[in-house]
């Protein structure tokens, strides 16, 4: 199993070409121009020294090899672990010793390039600071041993300055990327929440309307032979309800729909009458706090739909208070109260989400005298 896991891990890691030729690598290559610009002084120093042309060419070629390493090393080690990245940078630093026979103490002017690589290989702060302090300490030691010739004492100052400035830039890049990732996550969560809201709204809109359409269709079917004129009235109501449901659906999709408690009371009365259930409803919802009316409209719609679909009731009561509402029937009940909060249907689950978002409490219970009650209440606290 370990062999299989290792093989899978190796396959998932980017290859050499993928590491060297991607957007991040190109950005790094562009940034190295600034790091290499001052290295022109190193080339000038080599050619200003006494010695043969062959010696100077060898030193120049060796410097160019190190500059090439500076360009390609970070993209190569970005996918690696922190330990591998630290080891690679340390070995690069140690390898610069081969330059000492050519440029002597001036080799410490190459080391700010290593600090730039430290900043942009995204090492944690502690390894970054420890490796940089080690470089600076050796720079100070080399400058002291060289009796601070040719101003090499300034190399540690330059190194520290490079480290502070580039670490600040790299950390800003990391922070910006984290912000982008967070925004992407928030966007995904918002999209998921919107999908859940839309699914909930579609259920609430179509569930109620289609229930009424189904009840009225059954009634119209029975009346076709018994009372054709009344059947025509019911069919027209079905057409009106279907158009209303379509309008609600369009409004829900465009997110501009706002529930109206008075309209829902009127629709509930019509639906209950069509189902042969005696309705005891308030004339309007003016008693309810204005901020709670949309929420109570959803609860009323779902409650009446459940009464028609599942209760087997002959009567239904709707009671309104400023911050509470109860929908009660006298039927044997569908056992929804027992399953509420566990395996309740989409409608009650959606209502519970709405209530929780509004800081209200939704309850589904059986009534002692028989029947089922759906209630919602929001405390003043």
> pLDDT tens digits, residue range 302-334?
888 888 888 888 999 999 999 999 999 998 755
- What does the DSSP 8-state code read for residue 146? T
**Band of pLDDT at residue 251, cut at 50, 70 and 90:** low
- pLDDT tens-digit series, residues 177-225: 877 777 677 667 766 766 776 676 666 666 666 777 777 787 777 777 7
Residues 6+ away with beta carbon under 8 Å from 279: 268, 269, 272, 273, 315, 316, 318
Tell me which H or E stretch contains 319: strand 315-321
Q: What confidence score (pLDDT) does residue 337 get?
A: 45
Counted residue by residue, the chain has a size of: 381
- pLDDT tens-digit series, residues 45-68: 888 878 888 888 998 999 999 999
Region 360-379 average pLDDT: 87
Above pLDDT 70, what percent of the chain? Answer: 83
**Band of pLDDT at residue 175, cut at 50, 70 and 90:** confident
Q: What confidence score (pLDDT) does residue 250 get?
A: 65
Please state whether beta strands 324-329 and 315-321 pair in parallel, antiparallel, or not at all (unpaired). antiparallel
Q: What mean pLDDT is reported for the chain?
A: 81
Residue 25, CB-side half-sphere exposure with 13 Å CA sphere:
18
Strand-pairing partners, residue 324, are 321, 377
Q: What confidence score (pLDDT) does residue 342 get?
A: 42
**Band of pLDDT at residue 338, cut at 50, 70 and 90:** very low
Residue 106 neighbours by CB distance under 10 Å: 22
Spatial distance between the Cα atoms of 198 and 123, rounded to a whole number of angstroms = 44
Q: Is the pLDDT of residue 171 over 50?
A: yes
Residue 271 neighbours by CB distance under 10 Å: 25
Above pLDDT 90, what percent of the chain? Answer: 29
Give 151-182 as a DSSP string.
GTTHHHHHHHHHHHHHHHHHHHHHHHHHHHHH
Selection from 104-108, 144-148, 151-155 with the highest mean pLDDT: 104-108
Region 255-265 average pLDDT: 72
Quote the tokens at residue 110: 């190459």
Strand-pairing partners, residue 328, are 317, 373
Q: What confidence score (pLDDT) does residue 190 get?
A: 63
Decide if 371 contacts 324 (C-beta within 8 A).
no
Q: 253 or 347: which carries more pLDDT confidence?
A: 347
Q: What confidence score (pLDDT) does residue 68 get?
A: 94
Q: Is the pLDDT of residue 25 over 70?
A: yes
Strand order in the sheet with 372-377: 278-280, 315-321, 324-329, 372-377, 361-366
Strand-pairing partners, residue 315, are 278
């Amino acid at each position: 199993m370990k062999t299989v896991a290792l093989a899978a891990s190796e396959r998932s890691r980017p290859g050499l070409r993928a590491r060297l030729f991607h957007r991040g690598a190109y950005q790094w290559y562009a940034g190295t121009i600034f790091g290499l610009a001052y290295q022109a002084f190193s080339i000038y120093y080599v050619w200003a020294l006494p010695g043969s042309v062959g010696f100077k060419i060898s030193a120049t070629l060796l410097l160019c090899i190190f500059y090439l390493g500076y360009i390609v090393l970070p993209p190569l080690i970005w996918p690696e672990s922190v330990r591998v990245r630290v080891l690679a940078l340390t070995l690069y630093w140690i390898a610069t010793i081969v330059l000492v026979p050519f440029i002597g103490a001036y080799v410490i002017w190459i080391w700010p390039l290593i600090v730039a690589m430290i900043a942009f290989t995204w090492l944690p702060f502690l390894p970054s600071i420890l490796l940089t302090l080690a470089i600076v300490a050796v720079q100070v030691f080399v400058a002291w041993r060289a009796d601070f010739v040719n101003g090499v004492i300034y190399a540690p100052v330059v190194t520290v300055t490079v480290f502070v400035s580039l670490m600040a830039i790299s950390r800003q890049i990391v922070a910006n990327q984290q912000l982008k990732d967070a925004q992407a996550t928030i966007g995904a969560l918002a999209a998921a929440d919107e999908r859940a809201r839309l699914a909930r709204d579609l259920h609430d809109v179509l569930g109620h309307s289609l229930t009424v359409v189904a009840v009225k269709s059954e009634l119209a079917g029975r009346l076709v032979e018994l009372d054709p004129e009344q059947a025509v009235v019911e069919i027209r109501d079905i057409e009106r309800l279907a158009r209303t449901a379509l309008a609600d659906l369009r409004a829900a999709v465009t997110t501009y729909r706002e529930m109206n408690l008075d309209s829902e009371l009127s629709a509930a009365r019509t639906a209950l009458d069509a189902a042969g259930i005696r309705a005891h409803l308030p004339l309007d919802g003016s008693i309810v706090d204005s901020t709670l009316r949309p929420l109570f409209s959803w609860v009323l719609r779902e409650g009446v739909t459940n009464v028609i679909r599942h209760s087997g009731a002959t009567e239904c009561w709707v009671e309104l208070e400023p911050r509470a509402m109860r929908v009660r029937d006298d039927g044997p009940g569908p056992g929804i109260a027992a399953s509420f909060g566990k395996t309740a249907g989409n409608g009650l689950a959606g209502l519970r989400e709405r209530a929780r978002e509004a800081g209200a409490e939704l309850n589904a219970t059986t009534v002692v005298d028989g029947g089922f009650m759906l209630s919602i209440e929001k405390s003043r606290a």
